[in-house]
Chain A
Amino acid sequence: MKKRIGVFLCWCGSNIAEVVDVDKVIDTVKNYPAVAHAKYYKYFCSELGQEIIVEAIKKHKLDGVIIAACSPAMHEETFRKAVSRGGLNEYECEIANVREQCSWVHRMQKGDATQKAIKIISSMIEKVKQNKPLKAVSSSLIKRALVIGSGIAGMQAALDIANSGYPVMLVERAPSIGGHMAQLAETFPTLDCSQCIITPKMVEVSQHPKINLLTYSEVQDVSGCVGDFTVKIRLKAAYVDRKKCTGCGLCIEKCPVKVDSEFNQGLGKRKAIYVTSAQAVPNKPVIDSEHCLYLTQGKCQICSKVCEIKAVDYKQKEVLIEEKFGAIIIATGYDLYPDDKLGEYGYGSYKNVISGLEFERLNSASGPTNGEILRPSDGKPAKEVVFIQCIGSRDPENGMPYCSKICCMYTAKHAILYKRKVPDGQAYVFYMDIRSGGKGYEEFVQQGIKEENILYFRGQVSKIFEEDDKIVVWGVDTLTNRKIEIEADLVVLATAIVPRDDAKKLAKLLNVSTDEFGFYREAHVKLRPVESTTRGIFFAGCAQGPKDIPDTISQAGCAANKINNLFSQDKIYSEPMVAYVNEELCRGCGLCVTACPYDAREIDSRKKIAKVTEALCQGCGACVSACPNKACNLKNMTMEQVFRMIDKLE
């Protein structure tokens, strides 16, 4: 049956109409045999514009619609909805892109642009002629979420999903949860104690009936798609039966091996059997197999001997489990700019040059000095402290080109905390710019400068060296044009936030993309900032880019909300423009199975011909070009449609 197609050409204000001769386009296309109605309007995306389309469909009994306007990425969904309000199947509506692909790029060639617009529309007419009504593909939805990483981002996201009633599995590779935030002393701009605000959350996570917490575990493999991910998780050998263990701590007390504590950034020691900190959740130890005397040399076994309930198990093996989820949140956090790149600042050679996170541990009441600011070299009080910002940040030549966003604020916090603890001491800050955008942030920085007399120098440090027991810092104050020389007791480096070293590996497992540094890339920087490029996978926190605690919590809530939205449906609905097989032509050669990048093709074992798993198919067309028998086709983008479209473009 011959189609009755309506063509609606949008002016897009003047974006299209200024370049393309809209009268000429309408006059030309309205004479095409398949076109029953053609009309232009200033803004078809507006409410009035959409009404015009709806009315025209009814009045002219249209069964196909072409909107000649902006890119389909912009308003395809809007117009498809409008068309369905007019009583047509939404997949009978197509967009002819005459803005991005025509008027915007041919501003200087108005005549040619008009001809091109006509061609784009006639080509689309050929497609619509053979379009068929389609129904969105529905597939099963497992209403259970996986959150990878249990810093503040992961915990918040897990809680927000769990509190909506959906089960969550929270996977953490460290022995306990809390991430970097658990290491912090106080937080800006209110100076709340980090422990006081995070510990209750850690406990809530561990006790929540809807949250299944797996610590000391890592995601090993991921397959499937939104609604139905299959994830393999490796539970590492802790050498302690953590279900049996009561967390009495006797084993830790008696263990003879001391190694640098990761939690205290190497400023304190831990045992070979250890919990990360006194506040750790779960507060049950694991054995570090690299340092345990029994596991390395077959000697000792003291922990096992002192454990009354026999929870120590040297023979424990790692376990691989497989779980199903409908959606995933990546909240894997960040690393700090690597130590070995800080040689310029004497980090590693001079004990009294430390990183910001080490300074947090010195400040922490539960840290290695119980919160006193003492020099790591000799334990003497630090009376002159120099803070240097932008270490590794905003340094395209040697470090990272981006701003790490939080360093200005945490340095201000460090300097204020220091001055409150050592009122007769002096704090100096070298900075490039003070970036204090955030609620109460600028006031906080000013408070440090005005009330605590922290000396800020706008300039970089040129040299740091040790003389006697002081660290001599040479720098410049570019505002007064003076050279600065400070004999400091302690130098604190505000090191850049960088992606986790294995972020790209995880991205590969999850089939999501990262930016050039390794931060996870969002589907759209502005409009979809918590969604990955793969449907059903979301981000929270610094895994996506540097951010502070309030931003992280907002993003975690947003990601959780996206998942809650998804789970509020009964099924997963996806675009129906998927591949199909002409069973009479298919010989079951299997070329399409190898060609498919989404695991959507397989050979039906009974019929011995290829079939399509519609929920997995992304409509890429790889199978269509691979098929030697022309048995594969895409719905509403058949080979015949494509060739006819090309013909119209000449």
Chain B
Amino acid sequence: MKKIPYFPGCTLTNKAKGLNETAKLCTKILDIELVELDNWYCCQANFSTVTDNLMNHLGPVRTIVSAKKQGEKLVVLCSTCYYVLKRVNLLIEADESKRKTVFDFLEEEYKGSLEVVHFLELVRDEIGFDKLKEKVTLNLKNISVAAYYGCQLLRPSKDVGIDDPFSPTIFERFLISLGCKSIDYPFKTECCGSFLVTSETQAVQDCVSKIIRYAVKNGADTITTSCPLCNFNLDWSQLALAKEDKKFKKIPIFYLTELMALALGIDIPNEVWDEHVIDPRAFLETKGYILATKK
């Protein structure tokens, strides 16, 4: 089994354990073992665009140094962590003087480039959608899923984009490999409101309302994300939306690896589903997916 280092990030060890656990279980079935980095730091949750304060990048740089010691490639699950690590990695690679300053300070040696890849890229490039399809034991054909990319997997496209920034398909191809029906809608690459959830909940609700409304209108009965913050915003904001509008129908929000685990026949523990605001178990029950009904 091939071992590849991966970066879980803070949220995956706390509020989004399900994303972490299901990802590891899934890749094992596909002959890849995700090995947690020996030494990793918070990604800092944002890529600082301040050009003259390199301190802002130190956390990710330490993680990159540590990853480089364990391999050439680093897999990241959370979209935000992916976005930050990849951009810092590119910055350090491209700018010699900044690189020197940072590494002099850290008293570390720069050991050449590291390839930072998102989990979806790992599936596409390392495993392949065909192989994934072969390993599917539970065809999820009853589920119509809207893939939600958000911002950080795609923009700025020249730096971090894992696919075309305006009409990406990698997520859909992933879902189709699992047997799901993939739904297209115009808001799959729009912002979820992100950190505004802590200060401007109305703004987040407005964003989420559009995303969900258009996905449902086009036939989706669930939305899938790869980011804990997007997932939370889409999930939690529905409570308020339902309160405001009695006709609003709540839908469960999955992590991509949860659906993947279902399709690969993995027995998903209840703790995973407990993390959700809108419980997906009832939904899975109505769709006839037994594995989920052991509530």
Contact = CB atoms under 8 A, between A and B. Distances in A.
B186 A466 contact: yes
A517 interface: no
A463 B166 contact: no
Given A349-B167, A465-B187, A465-B214, 8 more contacts: A343-B167, A344-B166, A463-B186, A463-B190, A465-B186, A466-B186, A467-B186, A467-B214
Interface string B158-174: 00000011110000000
Nearest to A344: B166
Interface in B143-192: 164-167, 186-187, 190
Nearest to A465: B186
Contact of A343 (B164, B187, B190, B214): B164
Contacts of B167: 343, 349
A466 B184 CA distance: 11
Nearest to B217: A467
A343 B186 contact: no
A344 to B, nearest CB: 5
Interface string A453-474: 0000000000101110000000
Top-10 shortest CB links A-B: A465-B186, A343-B166, A344-B166, A343-B167, A343-B164, A466-B186, A349-B167, A463-B186, A463-B190, A465-B187
A96 to B, nearest CB: 43
A344 B189 CA distance: 11
A466 B187 CA distance: 11
A467 B166 CA distance: 17
B190 to A, nearest CB: 8
Interface string B201-227: 000000000000010000000000000
Interface string A333-345: 0000000000110
Nearest to B185: A465
A467 B187 CA distance: 12
Contacts, number: 14
A372 B164 CA distance: 36
Nearest to A341: B166
Interface string A315-353: 000000000000000000000000000011000010000
* A interface: dominant SS: strand
Contacts of B186: 463, 465-467
A470 to B, nearest CB: 12
A516 B167 CA distance: 29
Contacts of A465: 186-187, 214
A73 to B, nearest CB: 39
Interface in B27-45: none
A113 to B, nearest CB: 36
Nearest to A342: B166
B69 to A, nearest CB: 36
Interface centre among B164, B167, B186, B187 (most CB of A within 10 A): B186
A467 B164 CA distance: 22
Nearest to B184: A349
6 contacts: A344-B165, A463-B190, A465-B187, A465-B214, A466-B186, A467-B214
Interface centre among B164, B167, B187, B214 (most CB of A within 10 A): B167
A344 B166 CA distance: 5
Nearest to B158: A397
A349 B214 CA distance: 17
Nearest to A348: B167
Nearest to A472: B186
A349 B166 CA distance: 11
A343 B167 CA distance: 7
A466 B217 CA distance: 12
Contacts of A349: 167
Nearest to A462: B190
Contacts of B190: 463
Interface in B60-114: none
Contacts of B214: 465, 467
A349 B164 CA distance: 14
A425 to B, nearest CB: 25
Contacts of B164: 343
B166 to A, nearest CB: 4
Contacts of A467: 186, 214
A343 B169 CA distance: 13
Contacts of A463: 186, 190
Interface in A507-545: none
A612 B190 CA distance: 68
A349 B190 CA distance: 18
Nearest to B187: A465
Contacts of B187: 465
A633 to B, nearest CB: 48
Interface string A463-489: 101110000000000000000000000
A151 B72 CA distance: 55
A516 to B, nearest CB: 18
Interface string A433-470: 00000000000000000000000000000010111000
A343 B154 CA distance: 14
A466 B166 CA distance: 14
A346 to B, nearest CB: 9
Interface string A342-369: 0110000100000000000000000000
A349 B187 CA distance: 15
A343 B168 CA distance: 10
B73 to A, nearest CB: 29
Nearest to B167: A343
A467 B214 CA distance: 9
A465 B186 CA distance: 6
Contacts of A343: 164, 166-167
